Structure 1
Amino acid sequence: MPKFSVRGVWQKWRESYPKDGSKADDAITVFTGVPTIYTRLLQGYEIMDPDIQVASASAAKQLRLMMCGSSALPYPVLKQWEAVTGHRLLERYGMTEFVMALSNPLHGNRKGGTVGKPLPRVEVKIIAEDGCEVSSKGVGELCVRSPSLFKEYWRRPEVTKESFLDGGFFMTGDTVTVDEDGYYVILGRSNADIMKVGGFKLSALEIEAVLLEHEAVSECCVLGLPDKAYGEIVCAIIVPHEDAKRRAERELRPAVSLEELQNWSKEKLAPYKIPTKLFLWDTLPRNAMGKVNKKELKRLLEERTT
């Protein structure tokens, strides 16, 4: 396909596995995408006619494997996709500098909200801000050493030097922790997704995953805004579901208010993680890989608030 198309992807799957139970010679067997792609596919599925929904879900179930990467997959999206297609998305973690390093198992327990464990011959460790290695359940920057690790950045010796620890471990710039089963959890980019609020280090990705459970929220982005008292405050930018927008327009109110969101969040988030600022937008700026461009988002926020 020349570019991603919600309708086109579902159609390709239906053509691969027709309703008569046959299989096309060029049938799609493996699919991989970023979280935004799966969100868009689910939105497209929800507006299909019932008979097309049945055919689409049945066709999707026939694929051998579906994977997700590039950024954290919200747990509600994981569960909804599994309910529709029967596929529990295989989440894994990699970078251009070393290809794949961590992965949930092809056969075995794929834990939502994690990127699995180190692949064979891949070594990892977690380094705190003070440069010391932290315990398995600590929080810090993920560092990787692997046979597939790159040698250097082209003609950038200083950047190369700054990117490696003694012993050949590459500093990924991603903040992680490890759960009780040894599965790695990506908390976000250290310079973009980790907020410092009143002495607490918070993961924007963790808060985003919770907010996506709200019935009115289609997409969201959480980031820290400068604050004199707390250093940063938690700000949420939300794209409401279309039905929530229509209902709000009829009732002459916002699709979701800050007070409503805060009350809803009390049973799901610690008090210091609850957003104190809320913006409702129609879309979120994204890069070519489908990730929310938080740098651009902050710039747009500054424009709208000045």
Structure 2
Amino acid sequence: MSFMKVDFLPKFSVSGVWQRWRESYPVEGTKAEHAITLFTGVPTIYTRLIQGYQAMDPQLQAASAAAARNLRLMMCGSSALPQPVMQEWEAITGHRLLERYGMTEFVMAISNPLKGERKAGTVGKPFPGVQVKILADEESGSNVNKVGELCVKSPSLFKEYWKLPEVTRESFIDDGFFKTGDAVTMDEDGYYIILGRTNADIMKVGGYKLSALEIESVLLENPAVSECCVLGLPDKTYGEVVCAIIVAEAETKKKREEESKPAITLEELTSWAKDRLAPYKIPTRLFLWDSLPRNAMGKVNKKELKKLLAPEQ
């Protein structure tokens, strides 16, 4: 019989996590008695770990990367993982993060394979016994390339919200599928792509439905961008306009401040993005912040940010 031990940290610590891995595998080919073998985190955690790694001296980087490569599996969930983060993490540690999708209401439902192709930008395919459908404005026989709300029916699906009968009724459709509140699409290989929360990450700009997560993933490829948040702000002409809140990369910010310039301007961002995004997806408003407000799970509350920024329009 085998047993699993879980390490609980008092709070997330970038240096603490890297140190725990180095303690687990102190020398190439060796393994401590209580070595960490599996790690799971949200995208923000991996972003912070990458930043911590980049701040290390070369010797510590080598030891940290070697230790991380010895873990059996690394997973990512809670929100969509930007492809640049996945690619950089794989370059550092050799691990292609295993993305999967679940909620408290039904635990895990969709996952990339443990053995097989883990497609960047997707959360994979439904588990055996799990049924999913996409609830869209225009119904069609196939989920391929259809955009709409993900609905799930699973053996592990909960029955009801405690003492909230009205909320429970609103959360299910007639055939027993649970409405997740997440907008998705499915590619030709049957892999599902999370586009974001229907009430926060889907923007309606001039007749187009845009995914804020898709735009964020592209902006993160810009070397001047460390973190970013994209959201739609109210606009009388277009309904909403694309707004980007950017946390600049530290060295870029320092260098530009010495030149009395902002880390990146809207004009520079527009010029850089024109070959990477369709014109209607390029942000038309830009805010430079020192950090993004996040909750305990590492998520940005976009609804609150919209309330904060809307009066400025």
Normalising by structure 1, we get a TM-score of: 0.97
Among candidates 46, 51, 55, match of residue 43 of structure 1: 51
Distance in 2 separating the partners of 1:227 and 1:132: 32
Aligned length: 305
Q: After superposition, give the CA deviation of every residue in 1:263-297 in whole Å (9 maximum; x if it has no partner).
A: 11100000100000000000111111101111222
- Which residue pairs with 2:276 in the alignment? 268
Task: Note if 1:184 corresponds to 2:205.
Answer: no
Distance in 2 separating the partners of 1:235 and 1:134: 33
Matched-pair contact (CA < 8 Å) for 1:17–1:23: yes
The one-letter amino acid paired with 2:121 is: G
Which blocks of at least 5 consecutive residues in structure 2 are unaligned? Answer: 1-8
Among candidates 78, 85, 102, match of residue 70 of structure 1: 78
The residue correspondences of 1:1-306 to structure 2 (distance < 5 A) are 1-19=9-27, 21-129=29-137, 135-302=143-310, 305=312
Q: After superposition, give the CA deviation of every residue in 1:125-144 in whole Å (9 maximum; x if it has no partner).
A: 11113677763221111100
Helix, strand or coil for the counterpart of 2:183?
A: strand
Distance in 1 separating the partners of 2:28 and 2:277: 48
Helix, strand or coil for the counterpart of 1:66?
A: strand
Matched-pair contact (CA < 8 Å) for 1:179–1:185: yes
Structure 1, 42-51 or 20-29: larger mean CA deviation: 20-29
The one-letter amino acid paired with 2:125 is: K
Q: After superposition, give the CA deviation of every residue in 1:72-116 in whole Å (9 maximum; x if it has no partner).
A: 111000000000000000000000100000000000000010000
Distance in 2 separating the partners of 1:229 and 1:294: 22
Helix, strand or coil for the counterpart of 2:173?
A: coil
Distance in 1 separating the partners of 2:305 and 2:24: 39
Matched-pair contact (CA < 8 Å) for 1:76–1:209: yes
Distance in 1 separating the partners of 2:151 and 2:137: 13
Matched-pair contact (CA < 8 Å) for 1:284–1:297: no
Q: After superposition, give the CA deviation of every residue in 1:227-250 in whole Å (9 maximum; x if it has no partner).
A: 011000000000001001101111
Distance in 2 separating the partners of 1:134 and 1:166: 19
Matched-pair contact (CA < 8 Å) for 1:33–1:67: yes
Which blocks of at least 5 consecutive residues in structure 1 are unaligned? Answer: none
The one-letter amino acid paired with 1:150 is: F
Matched-pair contact (CA < 8 Å) for 1:32–1:67: yes
Matched-pair contact (CA < 8 Å) for 1:193–1:203: yes
Matched-pair contact (CA < 8 Å) for 1:142–1:174: yes
The change in CA–CA distance for 1:138 and 1:52 in structure 2 (over 3 A counts) is same
Matched-pair contact (CA < 8 Å) for 1:72–1:113: yes
Distance in 1 separating the partners of 2:144 and 2:308: 38
Matched-pair contact (CA < 8 Å) for 2:195–2:212: yes
Post-superposition shift, 1:21?
2.8
Q: After superposition, give the CA deviation of every residue in 1:151-180 in whole Å (9 maximum; x if it has no partner).
A: 000011111111111111001111100112
Q: After superposition, give the CA deviation of every residue in 1:185-229 in whole Å (9 maximum; x if it has no partner).
A: 000100000000000000000000000000000000000000011
Helix, strand or coil for the counterpart of 2:166?
A: helix
The one-letter amino acid paired with 1:37 is: I
Helix, strand or coil for the counterpart of 1:291?
A: coil
